[in-house]
Structure 1
Amino acid sequence: QALADELAAPLAQSAERVDLSIADLTESPARLSDEANSASLFGDKRFIMVRLHSGEAVRAAAAIENLLAGYAGGDPVFIVAAGMADKTALAKSITAAPDALIATCYETSQGDAVAAIGAMARSEGVQMSRDTAADIAALTSNDLVLAKLEVEKIALYLDASPESPKPAESEILSVLGAENDEEDLGLLINAALSGDTKKLSGELAAVSPAGFSEVGLIRLMLRHLVKLADLRAKADQGTGVAKLVNHPSVFWKDRDNFARQLNIWSSAHIARLMERILALEIALKSSGQPDHVLVQEELLTITRKAARLR
């Protein structure tokens, strides 16, 4: 996604962005081609961004094939397809098309993530041990975009710069780490996805006096679901749950939660959950109802579903 955003950045300055989901593509396989080849109402420049979660490329294949067959030099299309193999028939069709290209991004290994985070820290003037870099890698599931935000936050806190480097003590993450800011939201999310109605009710009561960021919860939940979908896909391919959750890419505090949730949610269920959470974010901006009511209702719905699936 970060690569797609970087490639689209020059267009985003003057062109309208059109977002499509797997639901749009499966509902009408011609939709993607139609959007790419139709002029906007006012003749404005546009570009189309499609984000497919793990396993959804297969369901979107017909729409993408239609685009390749009918593309007539219209609006550019960016498709982010997590988990799509580069040896599939669809990938070969994209590679063979004269006006398309496929870029394969491989999952960052723990060692590569730690090395990259160390380099980020040095560029920010933060003197960081390898152990702290490893903790950040685990905390962010080796996501270098998130890791960079963590390093920048530490540099800002320390008032560090390349001209004035500052050491980052091992306790820095307990003070500034994302899990500290998001701990309460994480408790809500894990209670819901684990089907623990009693715990969810208790956590909602605990955060109610001070309130919480509904948008922050949605973003954190989507991040959690992306990781859960990735682990679920690997489990579907035969890797044991215990091996998956004990991998260094899974933050140690989250291992029990992920193990529990992998035994509840299938890949198809996780994909539908993502669609519901994205729809919830849209509803927050357009429904006119209080944000906390919408979010609490959705959390309770997810909890009841998880409880039935257990």
Structure 2
Amino acid sequence: MKVKPEDIVRRYHSAPAASRLTLLCGPNVTRCQALVEELVQPLAQSAERVDMTISDISDRPGRLNDEANSASLFGDKRFIVLRLNSGEAVRATAAIENLLASETSGDPVFIVAPGMGDKTALAKSIIKAPDALIATCYETTPEQATAAIMTMAKHEGLRLSREMAQEIAVLTSNDLVLARMEVEKIALYLDATPENPQAPEADILLLLGAENDEEDINLLIHAALNGDANRLAQEIADARAQGISEIGLIRIMLRHLTKLAELRSKVDKGGNVDSVAGHPSVFFKEQKHFKRQLRIWSSAHIARLIERILQLEIAMKSSGQPDQVLLEEELLLIARKAASSR
């Protein structure tokens, strides 16, 4: 069944046993990921999470269904999260169709497939399936972001004005993952809960430094993508001192890479780098960085970067190594690659 992104969490939580498969697709990478995390949040409290990628199923189409129907070591409940990077959905078709055709429903399976469209043969199969949900995540508009932030705030016990919700939307560029982090940060600061609602003062965003935090993260990202190793080392040291969220940085970097990929495609079609990077949609303070990165990174390399950053998030959840170490290693690798391509 095809549902709207804003309805899929409510639809699934109202009848979780009715859906063996839930898939998020479309161009908005962070929205797909954010919705999956919302979907699995109640399950994560008491069930075992099993993360899978295309490498787990490409040569064994039956493995996804096998995992969904196998018991955990201690007999606990489980759920499967399959992450498919751009272009990998086709390779996963046999595994997904095998799951849908199975006579036993097993544990729930959630698939994040950014880049996959809802007009493909696979999407049509999921839409027709009575026990599957699919939603397409397009780029979030300012109006949608504001409405979603108002809802987030209500659930966190915040009496947020529409003006403040709009301000959060602007600060986070309508990225609902980052917006949720800001809302949660405000609620934590005010000790707000649904039972003890609080109304934030107008200057709270300035006080908590939402804009400054993102600006600091952007400096770190630009240093890596520009191939500026010396600057990156300094920014990493500053990030350690400030305690910047590794997951927050990943989400901002994904948003930046998505924008870079969009601009790079215009260059590939004959656009001039200076003109493309100088478009009003690019914040004027960042235009020089986009110009440099468009000259360093090809479309293929940007796509690979997005895949690596998505895989990095999986590693953070499963490798057991400190998030900070994994992130810093990846940023240094990116900087070296950029420096060699200049």
Aligned pairs (5 A) from 1:1-310: 1-26=33-58, 28-70=60-102, 72-117=104-149, 124-127=158-161, 129=163, 133-154=165-186, 165=199, 167-169=201-203, 172-181=204-213, 183-204=215-236, 207=238, 211=241, 213=243, 216-217=245-246, 219-232=247-260, 234-235=262-263, 238=266, 242=276, 246-247=280-281, 254=286, 256-258=288-290, 260-263=292-295, 264=297, 266=299, 267-274=302-309, 277-278=312-313, 281=316, 285-286=320-321, 295-310=327-342
Is contact 1:265–1:309 with CA below 8 Å preserved after alignment? no
Q: Give per-residue Cα distances to partners, 1:156-212, cap 9 Å, x unaligned.
A: 65788997745414xx544323342354444223211221123223434x539x646
Is contact 2:221–2:253 with CA below 8 Å preserved after alignment? no
SS at match of 2:135: coil
Q: Structure 1 residue 32: deviation in Å? A: 1.7
Structure 1 length-normalised TM: 0.74
- The letter of the residue matching 2:251 is R
- The letter of the residue matching 1:12 is A
Q: Structure 1 residue 275: deviation in Å? A: 5.0
Gap change, CA 1:91 and 1:260, over 3 Å in 2: farther
In structure 2, C-alpha distance between the alignment counterparts of 1:144 and 1:190, rounded to whole Å: 22
Q: Give per-residue Cα distances to partners, 1:226-273, cap 9 Å, x unaligned.
A: 2134335545765978379743xx766555545544551534322342
- The letter of the residue matching 1:189 is I
Is contact 1:137–1:147 with CA below 8 Å preserved after alignment? yes
- The letter of the residue matching 1:273 is R
Per chain length, whose mean CA-contact separation is higher, i.e. which structure has more relative contact order (CA < 8 Å, sep 6+)? 2
- In structure 2, runs of 5+ residues without a counterpart are 1-32
In structure 1, C-alpha distance between the alignment counterparts of 2:185 and 2:109, rounded to whole Å: 33
Structure 2 length-normalised TM: 0.68
Identity over aligned pairs, percent: 55
Q: Structure 1 residue 66: deviation in Å? A: 3.3
Q: Work out the number of aligned pairs and report it.
A: 297
In structure 2, C-alpha distance between the alignment counterparts of 1:158 and 1:236, rounded to whole Å: 42
In structure 2, C-alpha distance between the alignment counterparts of 1:284 and 1:14, rounded to whole Å: 21
Gap change, CA 1:93 and 1:202, over 3 Å in 2: same
Q: CA RMSD in A?
A: 3.9
Gap change, CA 1:93 and 1:167, over 3 Å in 2: same
